Amino acid sequence: MRLKGIFLLLSLGAFTSYYVYQPIPDEIEERWKLMLTDCFFRSLSHLADFSELLGLKDYMGVMMFITFAERVVPVSDQRVHVTEELFDEVQVVVYQPKLQGGDTELRRAVIYLHGGGWCLGSARMGPYDLLARQMVMDLNSVVVSVEYRLAPEHHFPVPYEDVYRAVKHFLQRVVLAQYSVDPGRIAVSGDSAGGNLAAAVSQQLQQDPEQQLQLKVQALLYPVLQALDLNTPSYQQNQNMPILPRTLMVRFWSEYFTSDKTFFRAMMTNTHNSPESAALLKFVNWSVFLPESYRGKYNYSTPVVALSAGGAGSDGPSRSIADPRASPLLVPDAVLRSLPKAYVLTCEYDVLRDDGVMYAARLRRAGVEVTHEHYAGGFHGALMFTMWPTDFLIGRTMTENLIRWLQHNL
């Protein structure tokens, strides 16, 4: 019996080690902490798959546990005044410095858009609340954190339209005056899917003939920027990397557009392009826009155009992937030329690395001033890992560098 107990204990330990351990590049710091963090994410993902298979709850419904677990109630403190408001019927959380006696100076403003693959996340999550407070204190700025509606309950373009309406509402002189904001010092920023929305909003505002006030800068943090080619070198190199493996990113894209699982399967095999979207592949040709150092051992091949695979014909999802409001990397150079100064953060160990690298390259080619900050030991989502027990040094470094850039450029 004693030997049997020892054997079971050793077996359990071996199984646990096998499940927790995942090869992680040496360049990434705090590797074991990342392994343990990713073990939780993978376990939740497996549970979500199983729940969906049994018909109990859909995948994203289970994954929303992450959002609920980190949700906080934004409240004012000694230095920051917090209010929850509606901007053109869109929920926002507004963070402002508490007024000092005789303080009449106009302030900067940062409009922040949270990540989560358009399906998860919230402006009311702890890491976003912490980031907003740091921006308020370090920049003496107003921060507007937008609580846009999420897929799959609200497919594209609803999340984008929520953000656009909220931003346009804020960019009115009468509204800016209420918050003592300088109309010439307003930024938009976002991480991951929030970076996608920030880039799209920046582009569309420039093309809106009714828009009088414009953004001064855009800060895009490991943004997702195109859905046409899901086999870029970074998608291949990092397909099993922690936090955001390729399968999860493809699922986010699919759920953003449709609940049709055949479209997800087509996206997984990179055969989801229609003739309409294929005509725009020239804007995401990584053999042209990706510097040699990022291409590695991978050779470019044009994604297959499948007229009927996974709904890739003339239906909604096919049109959506070609829409620049969903894929900002698809706009021509003429649109890029008028965009505000940009900060683009990318991580080496992130499937979205090449989206950001190509966008930075195209912006520069179009004459836009760009600061591209690449983290050789970075991984997706690192900026949000700043609170115990998942506080990573790289997350704090990213936050400090972002705020420093905003101090000098906003």
Query: Residues with catalytic annotation?
Result: 192, 350, 380
Give the list of residues 6+ apart from residue 197 with CB closer than 8 angstroms, or none.
113, 148, 159, 160, 163, 190
Degrees to nearest 5, angle at CA 383 with 30 and 381: 80
d(Cα 211, Cα 326) in Å, to the nearest integer? 21
HEC assignment per residue over 241-291? CCCCCHHHHHHHHHHHHCCCHHHHHHHHCCCCECHHHHCCHHHHCHHHHCC
* C-beta separation of 148 from 166 below 8 A: yes
Alpha-helical runs (H) found in 322-392: 333-336, 353-365
* C-beta separation of 271 from 303 below 8 A: yes
DSSP E strands, 159-253: 181-191, 217-221
* Phi, psi dihedral angles at 185 (to 5 degrees): -135, 60
CB atoms within 10 A of CB 269: 15
Taking CA atoms, 137 is separated from 165, 184, 307, 390, in Å, by: 27, 20, 53, 23
d(Cα 16, Cα 171) in Å, to the nearest integer? 52
Residue with tokens 């991978």: 298
Query: Both ends of the chain: CA-CA distance in Å?
Result: 70
Beta-strand relationship, 80-87 and 90-97:
antiparallel
d(Cα 232, Cα 225) in Å, to the nearest integer? 12
Q: Is 224 exposed, middle or buried (0-12, 13-18, 19+ CB in 10 A)?
A: buried
Around 354, how many Cα atoms within 13 Å sit in the side-chain half-sphere? 30
CB atoms within 10 A of CB 403: 20
